[in-house]
């Protein structure tokens, strides 16, 4: 349990360590909106890429069913609140799995929302904000 002021309690010491060790362009695979909200308080998103957040694209059968993914709206809102106006990148299922394998860190949670996985790309903090 993290017991420091200003650090959301949902962020474990191990996760804080991984976030701190990540470099520009490293990726973090995660689930669950509550965790995303906490991470975005500390984590600069990459602004030098088309999108700093990627989700798994619906498989063909789910597209045919017209499946909606409400958690994506939640992700988009949380990312927007953190200053990102870029759309979610949609990545083909198996390409998403491969990309997650190469992520700097993967955070396993109890998220049960369909298509509730998300990959974030870390950015940099501008020098003028490092005070």
- Active-site residues, by number, are 24, 46, 97
Q: How far is CA 10 from CA 27, 44, 59, 119, 124, in A?
A: 19, 18, 31, 18, 23
Smallest CA-to-CA distance from 77 within 92, 90, 87, 64 is with 87
Q: Which helix (H) or strand (E) holds 117?
A: strand 117-121
Instruction: For residue 118, give both structure tokens.
Output: 């998300």
């Amino acid at each position: 349990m993290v017991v420091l002021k200003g650090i959301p309690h949902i962020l474990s010491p191990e996760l804080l360590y991984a976030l701190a060790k990540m470099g520009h362009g490293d990726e973090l695979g995660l689930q669950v909106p509550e965790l995303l909200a906490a991470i975005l308080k500390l984590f600069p998103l990459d602004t030098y890429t088309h999108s700093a957040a990627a989700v798994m694209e619906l498989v063909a059968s789910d597209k045919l069913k017209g499946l909606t993914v409400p958690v994506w709206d939640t992700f988009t809102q949380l990312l927007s609140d953190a200053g990102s106006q870029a759309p979610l990148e949609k990545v083909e299922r198996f390409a998403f799995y491969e990309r997650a394998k190469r992520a700097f860190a993967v955070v396993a949670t109890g998220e049960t929302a369909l298509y509730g996985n998300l990959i974030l790309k870390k950015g940099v903090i501008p020098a003028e904000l490092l005070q």
